[in-house]
Structure 1
């Protein structure tokens, strides 16, 4: 049994934690803070914020219009006014947002499991590869996750839901919840999934008032403390209004976007790729499987999940009937994880794990609370998990994944930097055949790869089909920068992708990149430089062109 003093110990101060957590985040990411912008940063988020910074327009002018809410652009532009527009200032600002998010993780975990567990959950969240990689990248998802987690901390601050008494009144908690969820949805539209799930959850909790359900709960928890079962739930109009408010503001944003552009949810191609094209049973079923992997084993997440399964074979250290988490809190976490699992198996053309950022600390809260309830030396399990996460940051898994899920994105940036430097040094004035995102890197100096734009010829990717199209228009370029657009495990090694290639090509735009030598042979050129780092590669190709030139004497002008 835990000592009574475990609940009575004075809580750690969140304001005092901010500085050390921020310093630790900056120190851990020190080698990443000056890297140029990556993938969707350069493709949308930085250009959108740059347009607002210069032009004051909420809807981007120099990049695609995809109806993403504007709050990250507003916050970044405001920060650039203070700290200046350069890569280091952006990275430090995202570190501030990450710190803000991690303090929310600490507060939420402390409410449910105490200070020691909260500190472990916060550290594990910070080092989990997906979180670690996103902690300096200016994607909207880290902004949305920060506001979402703080909103959850206020939402769950209720009598019977936490180990301590509520710190605010119900009205104050409802106002804070509504405001923070609204800020989350104005950061990323997909953040609406969590307040929508909680709105439904409020009505599901009413089932506890049914006599049969109440009797069953009392049978299961014969000596349950109030903190475990919670009080009888009643609908709170203030909280329901707070949970509905984000949908209202998100709808107002879409009305404004439609008024300005004629499109409600972005351009038709964006809407098709991220929503309408996904509505098939086969695609959703396959996505559910992928997302289940993301929520259970991806990037060494199987380490804490296996430990979670193992500890339930041991007797609880708590008093009889006491649960490792308060029952309302555990129900909330289960509902939110299932809601994200299902929603993000339907929405989004690419199954990016950053959409699931709020889910990972919730999973870790369950894991750490369970370890603590059954293993006296649970800190050892936490340390083993930390080692597994640290390895996952550097060691790629044996299956395809998005480079932004760990430090593979750093390797991709570095080889792109080196390739662009070779182009500038050896082929100034060249016209370069390449694909996105390098296409944007060569056209937009503000992304940090070069100082002056380079002439380019675009191509979708480096598959055999696209290279054949380029060959039919060979006169439009004289060099090429080819690179790995998808990560694949090295040939001959373990690859757990199995036989899913056909389905991945059909539903997720999977393709096989041709290697540099193959591209050179197909286009009649030669490889002049190439580099590979942990499966990420890039190469520069040169195409010597010969032309039949004849000098003609100019016609004699009439006098």
Structure 2
């Protein structure tokens, strides 16, 4: 897409803010000369201040957003730690809390940047101790901060009404809602990324961006990269976009004339700001290499998340999955289909906000496409939480089209909200990770009940199980067990792994077996059945044996099992014969 010429209407709109204002505001819009020599008092920076004429300063919004997020997640705040929380993020934060080490010592380091650990440990200090409730509260605070960033971004591009709708839909979208109390690095990175975008994408009325916009964009993107290394994808994509604009801009646009935007200089400033996050991330990797001898974590982590994913077939399949994630998954197809239908059939009743059309609209497309492509290569698991910053942008595009094409667009927003809320509890007809909606809560509660039973009935057990239950049983601080159990680890619960365990029956006397993903029940509609073969080959998909099959293969008894909305767990016990010898004192004398 080429930039407009200096004489085009779109180019003039960048120099004449009154063209994108409502009729009531055009009467008082400044002249072109006034724009070229702006009143500096109007550009004084405030990180949280509202734009002129807006009645909603952000300092008043944050406590409201936090209370709303906290209360909406009330019954999730005391749940034990789940999945990657238990496997890495909480142990890493505990290591820093107890020893001050940025490199985890009680779990395998994978070179994730340390910002989440620093924030968690600092918050625990402020709270006077470590607790699940304190952790969940901090994540709610980060989620609320992210939603304020969504509101600031959408308000600057499309106005407060659209901003309110986009923020609400983002907050209740199942993937976002579920991650809003989980201490994964992704919600931290998403929060800082969205705040950075609120400075980069929102074009001011003045033709020359104020220096603070470059600075805060660099700061927030740097914080995002220090929260999770893959957050560097968004500023990298935007930096490439700025470089492209330098090459496709016409000579008149790049000319330095009085009263004209200095396009070349502005693009170079943006490139510098967007490249700035590389420095702190590089310093972190240098420190990690100095301490461990590895740059990107351990070799297995690097293989699983990068080097093993470079085949063209896998990349294309991953890209297909990623497109499905942002257009279909968890009822996202509802706003997307409504938007496409309006674009195909309805005539516009008013222009999409000009700031959303240019230059924000192509930049948003660059961000979405950049993340889709990057996360088709990076990451061994196709987790949807990697795309957290993308979902608000997709919703912003959808709602902007609704308001431009349909007067009764509020009905579309209401329908979308209803389907998002439904998807929190009603599972889709295909396989998905429990953390994409409230299914993860069922999984956590089932694990908690199973481990509680093992503690009461078999306190000296050696438990055969797979990750993350291996961590849940050996680390009481995760909230499941009151003591540490001996475990015999399995890779998963496939028939091959069970057969390996059957070859060494003396290494365990109890088994904790559970579902590792949600799949439609037998006989039900299953849209993912058609690509199970490729998922097994490229994405580590596997079929777990049932508790009954495991009991038969290992010659044990099912002593307890339970299920909840498709998630299941069982405890098996194996009677072991023990050789006993009578010891007679002085028998050899």
Shared fold, TM over 0.5: yes
The 5-angstrom pairing of residues 480-491 of structure 1 reads: 480-491=511-522
The 5-angstrom pairing of residues 34-433 of structure 1 reads: 34-83=78-127, 84-159=129-204, 165=205, 170-206=210-246, 209-210=249-250, 233-236=263-266, 237-312=268-343, 313-318=345-350, 325-433=356-464
The CA deviation at 1:167 is 12
What is aligned with 1:30?
74
In the alignment, which of 23, 28, 37 is matched to residue 4 of structure 1?
Answer: 23
Q: Which runs of 5+ in 2 are unaligned?
A: 1-19, 27-51, 255-259
Give the root-mean-square deviation of aligned CA atoms.
2.2
The CA deviation at 1:170 is 2.4
Q: Distance in 1 between the 2:386 and 2:119 partners? A: 20
Say which SS state the counterpart of residue 530 (structure 1) adopts: strand
What is aligned with 2:501?
470
The 5-angstrom pairing of residues 542-553 of structure 1 reads: 542-551=573-582, 553=584
Q: Which runs of 5+ in 1 are unaligned?
A: 160-164, 215-229
Q: Are 2:481 and 1:450 equivalent residues in the alignment?
A: yes
Instruction: Check conservation: 2:208, 2:261, Cα contact below 8 A.
Output: no
Q: CA 1:110–1:322 in structure 2 vs 1: closer, same or farther (change >3 Å)?
A: closer
In the alignment, which of 435, 441, 450 is matched to residue 466 of structure 2?
Answer: 435
Instruction: Check conservation: 1:202, 1:235, Cα contact below 8 A.
Output: no
Say which SS state the counterpart of residue 457 (structure 1) adopts: strand
The CA deviation at 1:374 is 1.3
Instruction: Check conservation: 2:207, 2:261, Cα contact below 8 A.
Output: no
TM-score (ref. length: structure 2): 0.88
The CA deviation at 1:213 is 11
Q: Distance in 2 between the 1:198 and 1:491 partners? A: 45
The CA deviation at 1:375 is 1.1
The CA deviation at 1:212 is 12
Q: Deviations over 1:129-162 (max 9, x none)?
A: 0000000000000000000010111112334xxx
Runs of 4+ residues deviating >6 angstroms: 211-214
The CA deviation at 1:551 is 2.7
Q: Distance in 1 between the 2:24 and 2:565 partners? A: 50
The CA deviation at 1:315 is 1.5
Q: Distance in 2 between the 1:78 and 1:305 partners? A: 41
Say which SS state the counterpart of residue 326 (structure 1) adopts: helix
Q: Distance in 2 between the 1:368 and 1:157 partners? A: 17
Q: Distance in 1 between the 2:566 and 2:207 partners? A: 50
Instruction: Check conservation: 2:334, 2:416, Cα contact below 8 A.
Output: yes
Q: CA 1:61–1:125 in structure 2 vs 1: closer, same or farther (change >3 Å)?
A: same
The CA deviation at 1:33 is 0.4
Q: Distance in 2 between the 1:427 and 1:132 partners? A: 37
Instruction: Check conservation: 2:170, 2:391, Cα contact below 8 A.
Output: yes
Q: CA 1:428–1:397 in structure 2 vs 1: closer, same or farther (change >3 Å)?
A: same
Q: CA 1:5–1:129 in structure 2 vs 1: closer, same or farther (change >3 Å)?
A: farther
Q: Distance in 1 between the 2:540 and 2:261 partners? A: 49
Say which SS state the counterpart of residue 158 (structure 1) adopts: coil
Q: Are 2:62 and 1:18 equivalent residues in the alignment?
A: yes
Say which SS state the counterpart of residue 234 (structure 1) adopts: helix
Q: Deviations over 1:483-525 (max 9, x none)?
A: 0012211110000013312211111111110100110111111
The CA deviation at 1:413 is 0.2
TM-score (ref. length: structure 1): 0.92
Q: CA 1:49–1:402 in structure 2 vs 1: closer, same or farther (change >3 Å)?
A: same
Aligned residues: 537
Q: Deviations over 1:301-346 (max 9, x none)?
A: 0000011112222111226x97593321100100000000000000
Instruction: Check conservation: 1:2, 1:317, Cα contact below 8 A.
Output: no
Instruction: Check conservation: 1:208, 1:233, Cα contact below 8 A.
Output: no
Q: CA 1:167–1:38 in structure 2 vs 1: closer, same or farther (change >3 Å)?
A: farther
